[in-house]
Structures are given as structure tokens and as C-alpha cells.
Amino acid sequence: MLANMGGGAKALTAVVLIRLMYSGMHVMSKVALDEGMNPLVFVFYRHTTAALVLIPIAFILERGKAKPVTFKIGWKMFIHALYGVTACGDLFNLGLNYASATSSSALYNVQPVVTFILAITFGMETMKLTRFHGKVKFAGILFCIAGVTVLAFYDGPMFRSFNHHQLFQHGRSSSAGADTYSKKQWVLGIFLMTLSNVLAGLWTVLQGPLIEDTSKLMNTTLQISCASVQAFVVAVAYERDFSKWKLGWNVSLVAIIYSGVIVTALSYYMQMWTIAKRGPVFLAMSMPLTFVFTIVISSSILGDAVSLGSIFAGILLIGGLYNVFWGKRIEEQDDTNKISEGKPGLELQDTEAPQIADDDAETKV
């Protein structure tokens, strides 16, 4: 089917499939946690599964091609994996344990904006508030802050699903609201997932020099492998009862395999292909689809209710994301116009440096 499509249709189909994969990860992970799976043990199993998939692929495709990995490179990979993969994954799952799949997918839209803010902090991006594009970017940041605030502190009326027969009889409903979670648990969950997105944004900004040390595939394989070891140490320190580590033929095993194989391995390749065909911004612009798909899946298949607060927060977060992209687009057009006019003394900014699209970060969350 894909072979018979044009380039644009293939890219559009690819991003839709990628967002469906991530929506499935949000929902499946939430169900596994509600079934009693320890969130930190879950991260260890997920990273280990991904490493077992990526190692043989990297060995076959990169053998004789990739640069040799020195101790210095390996140490840098270990440090970046510690905060950007292990800590990011642990915080995300701990937060998801207290919140909902819908809220996690809504917060997903914060990640590119956080990346942009950090890029400004590190001097990789500019935001001139005296110019229209600077004001548009700043408005996008305010929208995202407002979205996170609404998600944390406002519930609103609940929209019940027409499906009253849940596919998985998980212990707690993953709907948003005080009826399911205490207010403190919900706010803590939103805070932890937001912090996870901040670490993911920092990881994205600091990846530039690492790409030069080795290939993207080898980079990802090394960091995921390091994260597997790190996640094991964290999980053992947190959960000493190894009876809770046992996996059966249940939804937890399905969620682990799905996250490790489908999301980390398969979607990684599809993301690289999409970026090569249409660029990183095209991929990042599709991120709100994850929120939409997650609402549909969790409501129609799991029978979960969705709060007005989650929907309103999602709209604010998506609006903030698109505002930042819009501001960047206006800025790039202004620079292009200045070049065409031949104005002297123009110093161009490297707009590719902080690629807002979190292509590699998505493979580890």
C-alpha cells in the first residue's frame, strides 16, 4: 500500500502511524501500572526490551561503519542516558501512575516548547520580544504554562464514555478528576511528567555534539543499553521484593513488548525516514495527534471518562506548540526577505541547531 503512494501521502501515513504507536504506549503503560506493575520496574523491562532489539540491528547495520567508541564517548553516553533516558522514563512513569493517559499525552506537547526555551537559555535560539515573531513565540510559551496549570488544578465536568464495558479491568480508572485520584496525587503526577518533559528537552538540546561522535543508531543503542543498566539499579533500590518483578501472560508483558519493540525500535526508524523526507518540523507538528488518538482509544476501548479540564489544557498546550512554530516560521521568512533585499551587516542565526522536533527523545520516553 505504501509503495503505491506518493511521497507526501507516505509521509502523512507515517506520522499518523507514529502517533498511533505513541497513543497506544500511553494507554498500555497506564493499564499496566493500574494492574499493579511497579513503574520503575516497568521502565527497566521496557529499556531492556528496546536494547535487545537495537543491539543486533546496530551490530548488523553499523559493523565496520560506525566510529570506534572510546571511553570518553562511552562516558558521555552514560551521563546523557542517566538524566535524559533513565530519569526521564522513571519520572514519566511515576507521574503516569498518579495521573491519566490523556494527561500524559496532553503534556507531550510541552516537550518541543521546553526544548525551544532551553535552546534560548543556551544561546542556540533567539526570541526578540520587540518583533512580532518574538511576541508570537512568547505567547506560545504562556499558552503552555497555562495548559500545565489548568491540567494540574482544574477538573471540570466529566465526559463519560459510551462504552461501559472496559477491555481491561484495571484497578483504577485512568480518567482525570478528583473522583479517581486525590488532588495531591494528581498534581504530583502532572509535576513529575512535566519534569520528565523538561529533562527530555534538555537531552534534545545537548544531543548535537554527540551525533558527531557516532551515528544516530549507535548513539541510541548505546544510550538505551546504558539506561537499561541504570534503570535496573534504580528499580532494585526501590523494589526489593523480587516476587513483584515476575512477568506473566498479562497486559504488563504486552505493554513492555509494545513499548520496547514497536515504539522504541519501529517508530525510531519511521521517525528517521519521515525527517529525511519532510524535515523535523513536519514530524513535530503532528504531535497533537497523539493527544487526540489517546482520548479516542482510552474512551472507546477502555471506557474511560475524560474531564473538561484535560481537553481544555490539551487545547492550550497544542496552541502553545503551534504558536512557537508559527513564530519560528515568521522569523525565518523575515531573514529570507532580508537576504533577498541584500541588506548589509545581516548575521543569520542557525535555525537548524536546536531542532525543535524531539525525534530521538521520543524513542526513549
Per-residue pLDDT of the chain (365 residues; tens, 9 = 90+): 445 555 568 888 888 999 999 999 988 998 888 888 899 999 999 999 989 988 998 888 887 777 778 888 889 899 999 999 999 999 999 999 998 888 888 998 888 888 888 888 888 778 888 889 899 999 999 999 999 999 988 888 887 766 555 555 544 444 444 445 678 899 999 999 999 999 988 888 887 677 677 777 888 888 999 999 999 999 999 888 888 888 888 888 999 999 888 887 788 778 878 877 877 777 878 888 899 899 888 887 777 778 888 899 999 999 998 998 898 889 888 878 777 776 554 444 444 444 444 444 444 44
For the record, the C-alpha cell of 293 comes out as 488518538
- What's the confidence (pLDDT) of residue 168? 54
Question: HSE of 50 in the Cβ direction (CA atoms, 13 Å)?
Answer: 36
The dihedral through the CA atoms of 170, 176, 181, 184 has a sign that is positive
In a domain, 66, yes or no: yes
Domain span at 229: 2-162+172-339+349-363
- What's the confidence (pLDDT) of residue 52? 92
For the record, the C-alpha cell of 274 comes out as 519521515
The alpha helices in the chain, defined as continuous H runs, are 7-34, 39-62, 71-81, 87-98, 101-107, 110-121, 132-153, 183-205, 208-213, 216-238, 251-257, 267-278, 280-285, 288-300, 308-341
In a domain, 88, yes or no: yes
> How many Cβ atoms from other residues are within 10 Å of residue 158's Cβ?
18
Residue 112 CA to residue 104 CA, distance in Å, equals 15
In a domain, 118, yes or no: yes
Nearest CA to 168 out of 58, 49, 29 is that of: 29
Residue 121 CA to residue 185 CA, distance in Å, equals 31
Q: How many domains does the chain have?
A: 1
In a domain, 167, yes or no: no
In a domain, 271, yes or no: yes
- CA–CA–CA angle 86, 30, 243 (5° rounding): 70
- What's the confidence (pLDDT) of residue 355? 46
In a domain, 256, yes or no: yes
In a domain, 136, yes or no: yes
In a domain, 222, yes or no: yes
- What's the confidence (pLDDT) of residue 139? 92
- What's the confidence (pLDDT) of residue 7? 58
